[in-house]
């Protein structure tokens, strides 16, 4: 039977420590909250009362329950106050020597049967445990911020942690209403090991001026449904904290270059640009601790990946292609008031595309998102054709054909001959080099990438991909068109994966490597990212939806172009694709799909 914890201690009352105190006290457990000095203790008390008062104001906690919660907490200076507790959770800054000193003292102060736990998010629980004479009673209990809200707890066992201690802590997590994933002691555990490689990569994109901070953040929020963009998240976590985590993971995790902190991060720490806590980081905030972003001119490398004015007038648009993406783009332009010429290969495909657009528009009417008059008007703006010659008088052509470079180059060479001067030629490619398509024409300055996301009528994001030959006017035109469509345009250079895929797929590949190493299960990894990071889907759920074959192809492109060893496709992913495990489309993937 699991041990009953009647009293716990929490060491360190910053945002995380105070949150952990609140979690225990909310669930009827007496807490001894400890700090190093009276001023630090008062700050911790203020953190706790502020959090509980906000919960009362939002109607999430009754005043009487708040008072009872606070009544369960005893505040004290010094570790001696923890002499009779059943469990101690340490939540001090991420410095190994500091944690080791605290654990050595806890070992002296606490009763022999007490469990000693660290809330570290990246340091070695094993190295912390050996500072005591009871390493078998030391464990990691990694709460996520804000602890009262986030459901996930990573329970980290070392090679000597007692099985009874693990079982007791797992039962405690259930009592606290948390979902625990139990894992071994390795750098970054699950969530941080997957999250911080992605964050570091995003900072590298920004540092190289590949895209603006706003565009990087908007791309990941709108393209992947993430609760925050990576740079805004870095500011929330704290740039200094992120540096410490990345540096620890790099040193402890095999010196993977993807975890080596980008130089800009260290520079920002040195300059005191720590994120929200200091009032400035990648963004500038109203005041230290405030979440309100204010305009600035001095944030590091804040120069926008902007474009010059001078957008060309666009009234008539050609869309080439017959797949789902093409039909979605036709619908988007027609609903926005543009005249559209739809070009497919042959009358039969043209009829199929026409029917698909009608079906989608009719669904909009049924769902109350579109009136019958607007549906009819949109359909009336579309001309259906089976020949490219009908594109002779359009102002913009959007290509949405198969992802084969030879096919796209041949098409653009034909468009170069047919279309009038000044027409913007856009490719919807998600992975091919736009410059190679552009150089198939005699007008590369007029060629741009317009990467819509599927389904185009619903997804709000478009990646505008400019090559080294794309003119500022062409880029400005592409942005203006996106605005007219009600889409958010993010501008980036012509590099494999653009923004979204370049950040998303290495993260998915890292998750496959973690599974391949038998570090955790697919279910626990998915739980960790959904409950610990607020992701809408876990990596394996997403891989099955996207298709393992599609994921492998994109990962191969990223590796071939960037030559980053960490981007090499995980062998497990290659083996599953070879065996026909492609995800939902085949009914077999990382999940056992019963419906194809």
Q: How many CB atoms lie within 10 A of CB 177?
A: 10
Beta bridge partners of 302: none
Largest distance between two CA atoms of the chain:
86
Q: Which of 90, 154, 399, 541 is catalytic?
A: 154
CA triplet 22, 67, 63: central angle to 5 degrees?
100
Give the whole-angstrom CA distance, residue 509 versus residue 552: 9
Pick the catalytic residue: 192, 278, 350, 360?
Answer: 192
Q: Report d(CA 273, CA 484) in Å as an integer.
A: 37
Distances in Å between the alpha carbon of 540 and those of 83, 153, 230, 527, 588? 45, 20, 20, 10, 12
Answer left, alpha or beta for residue 214, where phi above 0 means left and psi between -120 and 50 means alpha: alpha
Annotated catalytic residue, options 22, 142, 501, 509: 142
- Cα separation of 14 and 414, whole Å? 64
492: which residues sit within 8 A by CB, 6+ positions away?
210, 211, 215, 219, 305, 463, 464, 465, 466, 498, 499
Asked if 331 and 361 touch (Cβ cutoff 8 Å), the reply is yes
In the Cβ-directed half-sphere of 445, how many Cα atoms lie within 13 Å? 5
CB 96 within 8 A of CB 69: no
Distance, in Å, from the CA atom of 233 to the CA atom of 227, rounded to the nearest integer, reads 9
CB 515, CB 522: distance < 8 Å:
yes
Of the candidates 128, 126, 129, 141, which has an alpha carbon nearest to the alpha carbon of residue 181?
A: 141
Q: Which listed residue (47, 121, 212, 360) is catalytic?
A: 121
Query: CA–CA separation, 5 vs 165, rounded Å?
Result: 12
* Sign of the torsion angle spanned by Cα atoms 292, 272, 502, 249: negative
362 is catalytic: no
Q: How many helices (H) and strands (E) does the chain have?
A: 22, 18
For residue 142, indicate whether it is catalytic.
yes
Round to whole Å and give the CA distance between 153 and 531: 9
User: What is the CA 368 to chain-centroid distance, rounded?
Assistant: 32
Q: 266 vs 23, 237, 274, 576, CA distance in Å?
A: 33, 15, 10, 39
What are the residue ranges of helices labelled H in 305-460? Answer: 324-335, 347-366, 372-380, 405-418, 434-438
Phi, psi of 150 (to 5 degrees): -70, 130
Cα gap 280→305, rounded to integer Å: 21
Which residues, in sequence order, are bridge partners of residue 10?
33, 89
Distance CA 204, CA 211 (A): 10
- State the Cα–Cα distance between residues 330 and 321, nearest whole angstrom: 10
Respond yes or no on whether the N-terminal peptide bond of residue 455 is cis (omega within 30° of 0). yes
Three-state DSSP class for residue 397: strand
Rounded to whole angstroms, how far apart are CA atoms 506 and 424?
Answer: 32
- Which residues belong to the active site? 121, 142, 154, 192
């Amino acid at each position: 039977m699991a041990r009953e914890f009647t009293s716990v201690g929490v060491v360190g009352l910053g945002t995380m420590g105070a949150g952990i105190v609140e979690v225990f006290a909310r669930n009827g457990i007496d807490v001894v909250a400890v700090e190093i000095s009276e001023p630090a203790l008062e700050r911790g008390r203020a953190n706790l009362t502020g959090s509980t008062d906000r919960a009362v104001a939002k109607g999430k906690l009754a005043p009487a329950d708040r008072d009872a919660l606070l009544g369960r907490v005893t505040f004290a200076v010094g570790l001696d106050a923890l002499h009779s507790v059943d469990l101690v959770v340490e939540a001090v800054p991420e410095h190994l020597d500091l944690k080791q000193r605290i654990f050595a003292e806890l070992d002296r102060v606490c009763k022999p049967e007490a469990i000693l736990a660290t809330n570290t998010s990246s340091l070695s629980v094993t190295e912390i445990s050996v500072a005591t004479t009871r390493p078998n009673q030391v464990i990691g209990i990694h709460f996520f911020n804000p602890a009262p809200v986030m459901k996930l707890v990573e329970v980290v066992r070392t090679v000597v942690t007692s099985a009874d201690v693990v079982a007791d802590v797992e039962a405690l997590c259930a009592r606290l209403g948390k979902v625990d994933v139990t894992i071994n002691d390795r750098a970054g555990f699950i969530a941080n090991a997957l999250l911080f490689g992605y964050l570091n990569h995003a900072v590298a994109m920004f540092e190289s001026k590949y895209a603006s901070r706003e565009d990087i953040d908007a791309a990941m929020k709108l393209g992947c449904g993430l609760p925050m963009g990576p740079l805004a998240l870095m500011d929330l976590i704290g740039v200094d904290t992120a540096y410490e985590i990345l540096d620890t993971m790099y040193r402890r995790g095999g010196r993977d270059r993807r975890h080596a902190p980008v130089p800009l991060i260290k520079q920002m720490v040195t300059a005191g640009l720590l994120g929200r806590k200091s009032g400035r980081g990648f963004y500038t905030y109203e005041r230290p601790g405030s979440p309100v972003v204010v305009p600035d001119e001095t944030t590091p490398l804040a120069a926008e990946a902007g474009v010059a004015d001078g957008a060309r007038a666009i009234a008539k648009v050609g869309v080439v292609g017959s797949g789902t993406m093409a039909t979605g783009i036709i619908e988007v332009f027609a609903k926005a008031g543009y005249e559209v010429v739809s070009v497919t290969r042959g009358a039969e495909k043209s009829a199929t595309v026409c029917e698909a657009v009608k079906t989608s528009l009719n669904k909009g009417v049924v769902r109350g998102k579109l009136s019958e008059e607007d549906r009819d008007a949109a359909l009336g703006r579309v001309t259906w054709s089976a020949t490219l010659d009908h594109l002779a008088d359009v102002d913009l052509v959007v290509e949405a054909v198969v992802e084969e470079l030879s096919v796209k180059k041949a098409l653009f060479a034909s468009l170069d001959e047919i279309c009038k001067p000044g027409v913007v030629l856009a490719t919807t490619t998600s992975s091919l080099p736009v410059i190679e398509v552009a150089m198939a024409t005699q007008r590369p300055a007029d060629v741009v990438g317009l990467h819509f996301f599927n389904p185009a009528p619903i997804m709000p994001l478009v990646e505008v991909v400019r090559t080294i030959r794309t003119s500022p006017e062409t880029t400005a035109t592409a942005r203006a068109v996106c605005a007219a469509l009600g889409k958010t345009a993010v501008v980036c250079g012509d590099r494999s994966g653009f923004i979204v895929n370049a950040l998303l797929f290495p993260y998915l590949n890292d998750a496959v490597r973690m599974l391949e190493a038998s570090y955790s299960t697919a279910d626990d990894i998915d739980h960790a990212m959904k409950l610990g990071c607020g992701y809408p889907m876990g990596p394996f759920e997403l891989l099955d939806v996207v298709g393992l074959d599609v994921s492998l192809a994109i990962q191969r492109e990223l590796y071939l172009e960037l030559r980053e060893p960490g981007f090499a496709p995980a062998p497990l992913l290659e083996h599953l694709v070879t065996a026909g495990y492609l995800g939902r489309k085949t009914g077999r993937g990382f999940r056992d799909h019963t419906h194809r």
